[in-house]
Amino acid sequence: MRVPQWTVLFLADLRAVTEQERIGPGRATWLVATRPGVLATLLLRLQGAADQRVGAPLLRALNHLLTGADFVPGARIGPGLRLEHPNGLVVGAHAVVGANASLCQRVTLGERLGDNRGPEHPVLGDNVFVGAGAAVLGPVRVGCGARIGAGAVVLHDVPAGAVAVGNPAEIARRRTPRSRPRSLV
């Protein structure tokens, strides 16, 4: 029997949370009921598997109502997603997020207004951390292992392993990335 793709992705998301918090597998089921971030990832994965005309919009609305997270259908998000506090999170339709990403509350991954090229969204590599209130806007590439500081407004590419802070964001320092590009980037 073949396991549905949404199940594989959600189990990877759940594993990322349980490993980070050192929670045993027996308690993992409680996370879905007690953690808004885990519920948001479950609804996101179900949305990705649902009918795009009816099911996906309904699951998007339910996710937004219950957790405050808004994942526009069409966004591609790799396995191992961690959302500690999903309230105010917005991920645009063409955004790409690599494996093992951490997104904090009020993060926006969206298009930049005023561009005449049409909707272009960010691409985040694997193991990227985006701090609370940060916005990554337009055709921006964020390299693997990069960190975006709280409140940063990223309008230009961020190299792998770099730390970007400020409004507009600037590279504060460079680190060695923990992984090579993998799945979606």
Angstrom distance (rounded) from CA 156 to CA 172: 14
Of residues 85, 94, 121, 156, which has the active-site annotation? 85
What percent of the residues of the chain are helix, what percent strand, and what percent coil, each to the nearest 5?
A: 30, 20, 50
- Length of the chain as a residue count: 185
> How many CA within 13 A on the CB side of residue 32?
13
Is 85 an active-site residue?
A: yes
Joined together, the tokens standing for residue 18 give: 């349980």
Q: Token match 């009020």: residue? A: 106
Contact assessment for residue 181 and residue 162, using Cβ atoms and an 8 Å cutoff: no
- Any idea which residues carry the catalytic annotation? 85
